[in-house]
Structure 1
Amino acid sequence: MNNNIKDNFLWGGAIAANQAEGDFNTGGKGISTADIQPYFANAKPTDLHFNNIDQQHYEQYKNGDYYYPKRNGVHFYERYTEYIDKLSEMHINTLRLSIAWTRIFPNGDESEPNQSGLKFYDRLFAYMKKKNIEPIVTIFHYEMPLHLVEKYSGWKNKQIINLFVKYSEIIIKRYQKYVSYWIVMNQINLFDREGFASLGIIDKHDGNYLQDQYQALHHQFVASALVKAKAKLINPQLKIGLMLADNLVTPFSCKPDDVEAAFNYNRMQYFFSDVLLRGYYPAYALKFFSDNQIHIEMTNQDKKILKDNPADFLAVSYYWSHTVKANEKSGQPELVDNPYLKENAWGWSINANGLYICMSSYWDRYGVPMMIAENGLGFNDVIESDGKIHDNYRIAYHREHLAAMKQAIANGANIFAYCSWAPFDIISAGTAEMKKRYGFIYVDYDDEGNGSGQLIPKDSFYWYKDVIDSNGLMID
């Protein structure tokens, strides 16, 4: 059998500090945006008013009497050796994880970093190295210091650029001996769905929210390029990447209006990587801004920074796919479900073919090294009478998606890593629940944080171990 996956391919998983670590007030850590996300049973992300939050809900959630799951996570902070040991048993050789900004700078604008936070990651990375697991680090993953939201209005304020670059420079310099691959911003293109988690801004209902979002995004672009410049001065061998959540769509029908709507939608999805890989704002984006009365404050120095510091690689998270149709009244693109696809209990469609198409499309457009930074699907796993979790549905999902990845590689795409989301169960990003489980390892906590915390390998654990041991050869 032939195999087109390179021998040094990185097989692993991905987590975020705010969904896994817990110990939100340990070791001098500050409060982040994630720490005020409450849990509501059976709620949908659109019902929570959290991702794009207004002042009323901000005050309600910040000062309310709720259970905040991300303050506890799955206790990775105190139990990291147990988790890393289990991952080592699965033979993974990489773990994408984030550093909590609030562990290093609790408020975000201190003059000196928090040594306790730095020492925690010293221990974590050293232990990962001992277990032959290479960290891929996301510098900013939806955990902005809350102080920066309240004092500076988040990324809308240009001062955040220097504060973030200072934080980034400190951790890159300190951990360069452990970390070769750095992702600056998690899913930078989800700014419109994550106005609070990603941008740290609050909707004032003053008609300026869209303007504020794009201005904040511009500051993230500039910060990303500056981090690349700083990293290359620290160590020219380091690789600095950008990350997208794949949102490419197909037309709902062959109706010309639907085809055009999908084309226009996709072009604005390429906008983020066009800026950070090509180094400039494309004409179609400038036209979009003009049509929507959006004015980006952008200096000539900003333009030079972007042009001189394109990212080294592209990281992509892929979960589902959508189709687009033209709204009959507005003519604007409208996301609709694909009737040919099955969904999980949370309405996420399953389409492995979409992974092949998106990775191939990005490769054809940019020709830079790529990694699959997240891929998985949440299921409500059940411990059976034999004490095991028989998750053939998860095995089927990953088998199909890994086959799609191999197809993209066979057609020329340079993909160097695959990170499942998540290798062990963690708190859900959107709904802050535990029962939406992604892991190959069952973590015995429930939605209210109760449970033994036992780590139980699922059937998929042993299957993924075999995939890794064969370097993907066993995938059709």
Structure 2
Amino acid sequence: MKQVRKGFPKDFLWGGAVAANQCEGAWKEAGKGMSTADIHPYLPNLNRKELDFNHLDSETFYRFKDNEEYYYPNHKGVEFYHRYKEYFALLHEMGFTCFRMSIAWTRIFPNGDEKEPNVEGLKHYHEVFQELKKYGIEPIVTMSHYEMPLHLVEKYNGWSSRELVDLFVKYCEVLLKEYKDEVTYWIVINQINLIQYECFGSLGILKDKTENYLQAQYQGIHHQFVASAKVVELARTINPNFKMGTMLADCIINPFTCHPKDVELTMRRNRMQYFFGDVQILGEYPQFAIQYFNENNIHLDIQATDLELIKKHTVDFLCVSYYYSRCVSHEKNGMDAADTVDNPYLKANEWGWAINPQGLYCTMSQYWDRYHIPMMIGENGFGYVDVLEEDHSVHDDYRIDYLGKHIRALQMAIEDGADIFAYCSWAPFDIISAGTAEISKRYGYIYVDYDDYGKGSGALYKKDSFYWYKKVIETNGESLSDVVL
């Protein structure tokens, strides 16, 4: 009989996660091209609601592109491109053993279809990896994290076009060869399942340039599946020690009531979330997905060798992002993953994110039961409007409470048998929000002194959570033994 597990594994990786487009800035330096993120404006009149930036039509696209009437926070970020050594020194002080980051596609291929990569971009990330190595911090690198070259949107309508497959594989091949001795863990595409929330950022599709928008989204996903399989195939020839992963944003939901129709809708919705993992981990399109496509007039162009390629080149690990949970009611909701109702038993932050640490335990346990491959948390965090006191302290007990309970829930999943090797909170220092393009929606252990218009000293201040997370890492999670969910 197996022994009872207790606590986190001794070699567990503790760290945090960021995306290049939300922190780097330097948006036109060293040959970088424009990406989808570079046209995301800050619109303060939205009153903390998510801008529907990821379902753009051509009119909105060109209104946001190169329009001096708007302020674009991503252009400056938090100056990580120039100041990464300062940030890494603080992460080292906390005891980080891993750091999830992305490479900006437009720093390597500014337009996405050049014959040769940008040497300055390649050089920059070599320097970043060397700095991480100095501190013994393991890089976990996302190849595509909402940073598609804007040129590919205009020329091909993004991933709706098959041409994107070879262009993306070429970009990834450059990364794999260039950094084969510096990076072990690769995530090919960030949150590949978020088509209802991040369609433009991930797929680069303009909805008015399609006859069937939903079909175009799933066609784009199929192209990403094919590209990912080709990248995994390449990786195993370049360096057999590479660990290649896929990433899912947790969209697993709960029934609003025990009404049988709520339960049935929940099951159908959850299966279409597992679909993305089933293809990349189990290597095949499940029958329920084929039935869903048939019922919704979705007819995918799948080439003869695609399914064989997908079957042969599955991923090594699953990365999951988890922030909050959702419910569905058969009386109010349909199959759209963004269509949900609030859970009356949960509290939410200002952006409506319902806090549910038990949901993380259930999610990771269910993924383990389904897939039985190593897993990691790639994002988990609590956005809040922090207050910088006169003495430059930030008392973020709410963040400590949120993270403590979620990490404790993760430990419960591990003790129940789930193979989880890393935890990366979002984000270790304040960055620009992907949803609302503001920095005042803060996540970090480190306060970055900029406001939503990029004004401020840029000074870095340690929040109370900085010292708290440092202790969590030092004790390998044992400091959370008294946390009650």
Q: Are residues 1:475 and 2:457 paired?
A: no
Secondary structure, counterpart of 1:335 in structure 2: coil
- Cα deviation, 1:6-57, whole Å, max 9, x if unaligned, reads 1111100000000000000000000000001000115268663411101110
TM superposition shift of 1:386: 3.0
Rate the CA distance shift 1:122–1:332 in 2: closer, same or farther, 3 A. closer
Secondary structure, counterpart of 2:140 in structure 1: strand
TM superposition shift of 1:474: 1.1
Number of the residue aligned with 2:216: 212
Letter in 2 for 1:19: Q
- Structure 1 window deviating more from structure 2 (427-436 vs 328-337): it is 328-337
Q: Which residues in structure 2 correspond to 1:47-126 (within 5 Å)?
A: 48-65=51-68, 66-126=70-130
Residue correspondences, number: 476
- Cα deviation, 1:197-230, whole Å, max 9, x if unaligned, reads 0001101076411111110110001111111000
Number of the residue aligned with 2:282: 278
Number of the residue aligned with 2:22: 19
Q: What TM-score results when the alignment is normalised by the length of structure 1?
A: 0.98
Secondary structure, counterpart of 2:200 in structure 1: coil
Q: Is the 2:320–2:378 contact (alpha carbons within 8 Å) kept by the matching residues of 1?
A: yes
Q: Is the 2:98–2:138 contact (alpha carbons within 8 Å) kept by the matching residues of 1?
A: yes
Q: Are residues 1:405 and 2:422 paired?
A: no
Q: Is the 1:261–1:332 contact (alpha carbons within 8 Å) kept by the matching residues of 2?
A: no
TM superposition shift of 1:4: 2.7
TM superposition shift of 1:331: 8.9
Number of the residue aligned with 2:11: 8
TM superposition shift of 1:387: 2.2
Alpha-carbon separation, structure 1, partners of 2:252 and 2:212: 27
Q: Are residues 1:376 and 2:391 paired?
A: no
Number of the residue aligned with 2:441: 436
Q: Which residues in structure 2 correspond to 1:187-336 (within 5 Å)?
A: 187-204=191-208, 207-327=211-331, 334-336=339-341
Letter in 2 for 1:298: I
Q: Are residues 1:30 and 2:33 paired?
A: yes
TM superposition shift of 1:178: 1.6
Rate the CA distance shift 1:451–1:367 in 2: closer, same or farther, 3 A. same
Q: Are residues 1:395 and 2:400 paired?
A: yes
Q: Is the 1:45–1:430 contact (alpha carbons within 8 Å) kept by the matching residues of 2?
A: no
TM superposition shift of 1:332: 8.1
Secondary structure, counterpart of 1:467 in structure 2: helix
Alpha-carbon separation, structure 2, partners of 1:207 and 1:47: 26
Letter in 1 for 2:51: L
Letter in 2 for 1:39: Y
Alpha-carbon separation, structure 2, partners of 1:196 and 1:203: 9
Rate the CA distance shift 1:423–1:331 in 2: closer, same or farther, 3 A. closer
TM superposition shift of 1:268: 0.4
Alpha-carbon separation, structure 1, partners of 2:332 and 2:446: 46
Structure 2, unpaired ranges of 5+: none
Rate the CA distance shift 1:201–1:329 in 2: closer, same or farther, 3 A. closer
- Structure 1 window deviating more from structure 2 (207-216 vs 329-338): it is 329-338
Q: Is the 1:18–1:73 contact (alpha carbons within 8 Å) kept by the matching residues of 2?
A: yes
Structure 1, unpaired ranges of 5+: none
TM superposition shift of 1:190: 0.2
Alpha-carbon separation, structure 1, partners of 2:420 and 2:51: 36
Alpha-carbon separation, structure 1, partners of 2:154 and 2:249: 27
Secondary structure, counterpart of 1:474 in structure 2: helix
Secondary structure, counterpart of 1:138 in structure 2: strand
Alpha-carbon separation, structure 1, partners of 2:465 and 2:8: 21
Q: Are residues 1:129 and 2:133 paired?
A: yes
Letter in 1 for 2:395: H
Alpha-carbon separation, structure 1, partners of 2:97 and 2:416: 25
Alpha-carbon separation, structure 1, partners of 2:53 and 2:331: 27
Secondary structure, counterpart of 1:240 in structure 2: strand
Number of the residue aligned with 2:422: 417
1:466 to 465, 471, 474: 471
- Cα deviation, 1:113-145, whole Å, max 9, x if unaligned, reads 000000000100001100111110000000100
Number of the residue aligned with 2:155: 151
TM superposition shift of 1:159: 0.9
- Cα deviation, 1:371-402, whole Å, max 9, x if unaligned, reads 00000010100012332001111100010001
Number of the residue aligned with 1:337: 342
Letter in 2 for 1:458: K
TM superposition shift of 1:330: 6.8
Letter in 1 for 2:478: L
Letter in 1 for 2:222: H
Say what the alpha-carbon RMSD is for the aligned residues.
1.6
2:188 to 176, 184, 188: 184
Q: What TM-score results when the alignment is normalised by the length of structure 2?
A: 0.96
Letter in 2 for 1:442: Y
Q: Is the 1:195–1:201 contact (alpha carbons within 8 Å) kept by the matching residues of 2?
A: yes
- Cα deviation, 1:36-89, whole Å, max 9, x if unaligned, reads 100011526866341110111011101322111111110000111001111111
Alpha-carbon separation, structure 1, partners of 2:107 and 2:93: 29
Alpha-carbon separation, structure 2, partners of 1:416 and 1:400: 18
Q: Is the 1:252–1:325 contact (alpha carbons within 8 Å) kept by the matching residues of 2?
A: yes
Number of the residue aligned with 2:457: 452
Alpha-carbon separation, structure 2, partners of 1:219 and 1:376: 30
- Cα deviation, 1:386-445, whole Å, max 9, x if unaligned, reads 320011111000100010000000000000000000000000001000100000000001
Q: Is the 2:386–2:394 contact (alpha carbons within 8 Å) kept by the matching residues of 1?
A: yes
Alpha-carbon separation, structure 2, partners of 1:99 and 1:163: 16
Secondary structure, counterpart of 1:63 in structure 2: coil
Alpha-carbon separation, structure 1, partners of 2:270 and 2:414: 22
Alpha-carbon separation, structure 2, partners of 1:330 and 1:471: 42
Letter in 1 for 2:469: Y
Letter in 2 for 1:13: G
Letter in 1 for 2:435: G
